[in-house]
Amino acid sequence: MSANKTHDYSFRIWIERKGEPILGKGGADILEQIEKEESITKAATRLGMSYRYVWSYLQRINRTLGKPVADTFKGGKSGGGGARLTLTGKELLTEYRRIEEILNKTLAELEYRGSLGSNQLQKPPSWKDHNRR
């Protein structure tokens, strides 16, 4: 970084629907862990959150969207139930991570330009790729 650096850049992302927040970083982390662990309990434990908090967070997202982001299922007599993201949950997580990647690249570009003493933001070569769906 430049010795004359006077500030840092940061951002927070959240996805909204009709002004209601749906998903922020913590929610994206929850969905990601549910996808990896296939369990709300294991996801909550891995994230250092209570099951109740994670369950309530999922219910709030479901109410806001009007459809579930995760499905739960029961196991047999010996247990083994779990949870999986629905298509809606997977799409929401993918969209969040896509936006996060774009903004991280933009911040890296700002930091890089700042280290060169230039305040001109240049679009990274891959910028166009992120605007396509």
pLDDT of residue 133: 44
Residue 4 covered by a domain: no
pLDDT tens digits, 54-73:
999 999 999 999 999 999 99
Question: CB–CB of 15/95 below 8 Å?
Answer: yes
pLDDT of residue 80: 77
Query: Minimum mean pLDDT among 12-21, 29-38, 90-99: which range?
Result: 12-21
pLDDT of residue 61: 96
- What's the CATH code of the domain at 48? 1.10.10.10
Residue 77 covered by a domain: yes
Residue 60 covered by a domain: yes
CA 13 to chain centre: 8
Could you tell me which of 97, 16, 13, 22 has the C-alpha nearest to residue 57? 22
- One-character DSSP codes across 38-97: S-HHHHHHHHT--HHHHHHHHHHHHHHHTS-SEEEE--BTTB--EEEE-HHHHHHHHHHH
Question: CB–CB of 33/42 below 8 Å?
Answer: yes
Instruction: State the chain's mean pLDDT as an integer.
Output: 85
pTM: 0.76
Residue 1 covered by a domain: no
CA 62 to chain centre: 16
Residue 9 covered by a domain: no
- The answer, yes or no, to whether residue 85 has pLDDT greater than 50, is yes
Residue 10 covered by a domain: no
Residue 22 covered by a domain: yes
Kindly give, in sequence order, each residue whose CB lies less than 8 Å from that of residue 26, ignoring residues fewer than 6 positions away.
57
Per the structure, the count of domains in the chain is 1
For 58, the domain range is 15-131
Could you tell me which of 88, 91, 85, 90 has the C-alpha nearest to residue 70? 85
